[in-house]
Amino acid sequence: MLDFKDHVVLVTGAGAGIGFGIARAFHEAGARVALGDLREVAVARAATKLGDSGRVYARAVDVRDARATAEFLDGAERTLGPVTVAVANAGIYPNTPVLDMTTEEWDRVMETNVRGVFLTCQAAARSMVARGTQGKIITLSSGAAFSGRQGASHYCASKAGVVMFTKVLALELAGHHINVNSIAPGLIEVEGEVSPLTREYVETLTRSIPWGRIGSPEDIAKAALFLASPLAEFITGEVLAVNGGSSAGRAFLPLSTPPSP
C-alpha cells in the first residue's frame, strides 16, 4: 500500500528540509516527483541528490504567484503525467515581535504560507477534478496553529489559516473523492538556510518533547506516505500532529506531589 510507482507527486518547497524529505520518500517508493522551490539552486541540488532516474521534474517556482504555480503544475504534468498527490509544503517562519514587525514581513508570511497553499492546492485540485483523479492533497500546517509562541504572530495566524483552509477544501472535494489533510509537525531538524532558529530556542523546545528527541524530515515524510496511501482512504479534513507527543500535554513539568517515602 506504500508503493507509489503509479503516482506523480508534486511537492512545493522541495529544495530543502521537510519538502525535500517528503519528495525523497515518495521517490524511493517508486513515484515520479515534481520538485518546486523559490530557490533555483536549491531545487536543482535536490533533484541531483535524487539521481538521474528519469522520474524527477524540478523547477523554480514562487508559490505566491498564481501564474507561476499553475505553470509549475502544467510543466510537471507534461513531463511526468497527471498529478495524483500534491503536497503544499513551502513555508517560512521568521521571528519578530508584533511591536517591531513591518507590514512587509507580515505580508510575506501570509502570502507564502496561506496564499501559497491556496494556489498550490487550487492548481492541483483543478487538474484532479478535470481528469476525474481521486487524488490526495496534503498541506503542511504546524503545532503553531494551536499553540502560540512569541515572535510568531504572523506564522501562528498563517498556520491556523492553513488548518481551516484544509478542512473547507476537504468538504468541497469530498464529492470527488479527493482526500485533503494537513500534517502539523512539531520541531523538525532542517538546515535552516531560509528560516534559521537560535540554538537556545531549539534546545529549550527539544527538552519539552516527550519522546525525547527532535523530529526529522523522515518522520514527516512517513506521515505523508500514509496520508497519500489507500490506508487513509476514509480520512479527510484531518490534521495529523507529528511531534513526539508535544501536543499531548506539558511533559516538562515535575510531579505535583512529593513521592511517598
Ligand X SMILES: NC(=O)c1ccc[n+]([C@@H]2O[C@H](COP(=O)([O-])OP(=O)(O)OC[C@H]3O[C@@H](n4cnc5c(N)ncnc54)[C@H](O)[C@@H]3O)[C@@H](O)[C@H]2O)c1
Q: Which is nearer to ligand X, 129 or 247 (CB)?
A: 247
Q: How far is the CB of 139 from ligand X (least distance, A)?
A: 8
CB 84 → ligand X: shortest distance, Å?
A: 21
Question: Minimum CB separation from ligand X for residue 248, in Å?
Answer: 17
Residues 138 and 176: their CA atoms lie apart, in Å, by 16
Per the DSSP assignment, residues forming a β-bridge with 181 are 138
- CB of 135 or CB of 185, closer to ligand X: 185
201 is catalytic: no
From the list 2-10, 126-134, 164-172, 188-196, the region that binds ligand X by CB under 6 A is 188-196
Asked if 16 is part of the footprint of ligand X (rule: CB under 6 A), the reply reads yes
Judged by CB under 6 A, the chain residues 200 through 219 that form the site for ligand X are none
Q: Which residue has the cell 513526539?
A: 244
Give yes or no for residue 152 binding ligand X (CB under 6 A): no
The yes or no reply on residue 108 touching ligand X (CB under 6 A) is: no
Question: Judged by CB under 6 A, which of 7, 8, 15, 240 binds ligand X?
Answer: 15
Check binding of 239 to ligand X (CB under 6 A): no
Strands (E), the chain: 8-12, 32-37, 56-60, 85-88, 136-140, 179-185, 239-242
Given the complex with ligand X, which of 176 and 222 has the nearer CB atom?
222
Look up residue 177 and give its three cell numbers: 473523492
Say if CB 158 and CB 215 are below 8 A apart: no
Taking CB under 6 A as the rule, does residue 161 contact ligand X?
A: no
State the Cα–Cα distance between residues 156 and 162, nearest whole angstrom.
Answer: 10
- Taking the C-alpha atoms of residue 215 and residue 202, their distance in angstroms, rounded to an integer, is 11
Strand partners, 35: 11, 58
167 CB neighbour count, 10 Å cutoff: 17
Candidates 58-66, 145-153, 226-234, 250-258: pick the segment binding ligand X (CB under 6 A): 58-66
Cell of 22: 517528503
Q: Report DSSP state, residue 175.
A: G
- Does 194 bind ligand X (CB under 6 A)? Our answer is yes
Site string for ligand X, 111-150 (x = CB under 6 A): -x---x-----------------------x-x--------
Which stretches of 145-251 are DSSP H helices? 153-173, 199-207, 217-228
CA 124 to chain centroid, in Å, comes to 15
Residues known to be catalytic = 155
- The residue ranges that bind ligand X (CB under 6 A) are 12-13, 15-19, 37-39, 42, 61-64, 89-93, 112, 116, 140, 142, 185, 187-188, 190-191, 194-195
